[in-house]
Amino acid sequence: MKTLQGRSFTKETDLSAAEFHYLLKLAIDLKKQTKSGSELQRLVGKSVALIFEKTSTRTRAAFEVAMTQQGGSSTVFDSTSAQLGHKESIADTAKVLSRMYDAIMFRGALQETVEELAANSTVPVINGLTDQFHPTQMLADLLTMQESAKKPLADLKFCYLGDARNNMGNSFLITSAILGLTFTIGAPKSLWPDDALIAQANQIAEKTGAKLNLTQSPTDAVKDAEFVHTDVWVSMGEPKSVWKERIDKLLPYQVNKELMNSAAKDAKFMHCLPAFHDEKTEVGLAAAQLAGISGGLEVTDDVFQSNANIAFDQAENRLHTTKAILIATILGE
Ligand code: CP
Ligand code: NVA
């Protein structure tokens, strides 16, 4: 798609609905090619700079494997080894990397940083997660729902429970508005997306016909939902001290068997991952001890281990959708 060539993807509103659908279609084609061993290498000789101010498993894996499978290369810059922030401005970093790389991915705290990189770069800049948005994750989530439901996205009902004033909640709301989807947030009001973002989403929804709902009732949120999404209750960069308050607020929104039973028949569970579904991680254990609970925080281990969980398909789809974003923005194909 020529319109995507050279364009940055710093937030969902950078793309039109048609461009979202194009990227999904390209990702489906690329996934088929990868699986059948017939993948054409389109990014031979191309390089991508991957800047990680925050940690990552899936995003880094998706970008690095996508470039390798497409015949290109990638370089990871992390906060311990790069000059960005300490010794070199964001603008200068963008100008330097643009001279050597064909695209730049940024993961970090501030949305302003990724937008400043994009404003000063001559190559596409892709947001690999900020506190405000996680746009590349949206494409993987849309693809996973479409594949699982075997029907158009516009005919689906889905919801998101938990901390909704963070990247995942914000991104779902605005993406659903752009694509005209039926989407509900279930969260305490203090953790809803900020008023300006809700207003922007509602304004877009008026034109696209999206049906957006926000409720404080977890059971109302999951009612008729074919896909129940959640995310960690405390995100990267937040202090440990917020765990107690967050658990108290969000425990009623925990995705457990009972809540899944209130969703549509055969509803699927989704999570961008990593998830605290047991006490086998340092942070998961500490938080569970603090809460005096076991067997999972935002999702219980029985739901996570059940057939309803499609979070690993979702994780795999990060690869195929990332590849589509890279090919479309670098080559305009
Ligand atoms: N879902 C996601 O972005 O995972 P990582 O933090 O591991 O990249
Ligand atoms: N909300 C989470 C998403 C991780 C992919 C975080 O920002 O830590």
**Minimal CA–CA distance to 145: which of 185, 175, 105, 186?**
175
Element (H, E) at 1: none
Q: Mutate which of 139, 273, 314 to test ligand 1's pocket (most atoms within 8 Å of Cβ)?
A: 273
The pLDDT tens digits for 161-181 are 999 999 999 999 999 999 999
Ligand 1 geometric centre to CA of 134 (Å): 9
Going by pLDDT thresholds of 50, 70 and 90, the confidence category of residue 84 is confident
Q: How does strand 227-230 pair with strand 157-161?
A: parallel
Ligand 1, atom 6, residue with closest C-alpha:
56
Q: Residue 85's pLDDT is what?
A: 75
Pocket of ligand 1 (CB under 6 A): 56-59, 129, 137, 272-273
Instruction: Tell me the ligand closest to 139's alpha carbon.
Output: 1
Nearest of 124, 140, 127, 129 to residue 24 by alpha carbon: 140
Closest ligand to C-alpha of residue 171 is: 2
Confirm whether 254 is a catalytic residue. no
What does the block give as tokens for 135?
């746009």
Predicted confidence band of residue 295 (pLDDT cuts 50, 70, 90)? very high
Q: Note the pLDDT tens digit of each residue in 213-224.
A: 999 999 999 999
Q: Are 27 and 321 in contact (CB under 8 A)?
A: yes
User: CB neighbours of 315 closer than 8 A, spacing ≥ 6?
Assistant: 58, 140, 273
318 annotated active-site: yes
Catalytic residue status for 272 = yes
The first and second tokens of residue 131, run together, are: 């506190």
Q: Which residues pair with 269 in a beta bridge?
A: 228, 309
Torsion of CA 11, 14, 20, 24, to 10 degrees: -50
**CA of residue 283 to ligand 1 center, whole Å:** 16
Residues 20-67: pLDDT tens digits? Answer: 999 999 999 999 999 999 999 999 999 999 999 999 999 999 999 999
Report pLDDT digits (tens) over 112-146.
999 999 999 999 999 999 999 999 999 999 999 99
- Candidates 70, 137, 254, 314; catalytic one: 137
Please pick, among 7, 58, 134, 229, the residue that the annotation labels catalytic: 134
> How far is the centre of ligand 2, averaged over its atoms, from the C-alpha of 99 (Å)?
31
* Rounded average pLDDT over 93-99: 97
From the CB of residue 200, how many other CB atoms can be counted at a distance below 10 Å? 16
The whole model's pTM is what? Answer: 0.98
What is the dihedral sign for C-alpha 236, 288, 160, 17? positive
Atom of ligand 2 nearest to the CA of 231: 1
Among the listed residues 58, 141, 272, 277, the single catalytic one is: 272
Q: Give the pLDDT of residue 16.
A: 98
Residue bearing the CA closest to ligand 2, atom 2:
235
- Which atom of ligand 2 lies nearest, measured to the CA of 131? 7
Domains of the chain in start order, with CATH, are: 12-133+318-331 (3.40.50.1370), 157-225+227-262+268-307 (3.40.50.1370)
What does the pLDDT read at residue 115?
98
Q: Where are the beta strands (DSSP E) in the chain?
A: 47-52, 73-78, 103-107, 125-127, 157-161, 182-186, 211-215, 227-230, 268-271
Residue 227 sits at φ, ψ, to 5 deg, of -135, 125
Atom of ligand 2 nearest to the CA of 59: 5
Q: Please state the rounded mean pLDDT for residues 181-198.
A: 98
- Is the pLDDT assigned to residue 81 strictly greater than 80? no
pLDDT tens readout for residues 241-270: 999 999 999 999 999 999 999 999 999 999
With bands split at pLDDT 50, 70 and 90, how would you rate the model's confidence at 1? confident
Q: Are 190 and 217 in contact (CB under 8 A)?
A: no
Measured distance CA(146)–CA(139) in Å, rounded: 11
| Band of residue 87 on the pLDDT scale cut at 50, 70, 90 | confident
**Average pLDDT for residues 301-308, to the nearest whole number?**
98
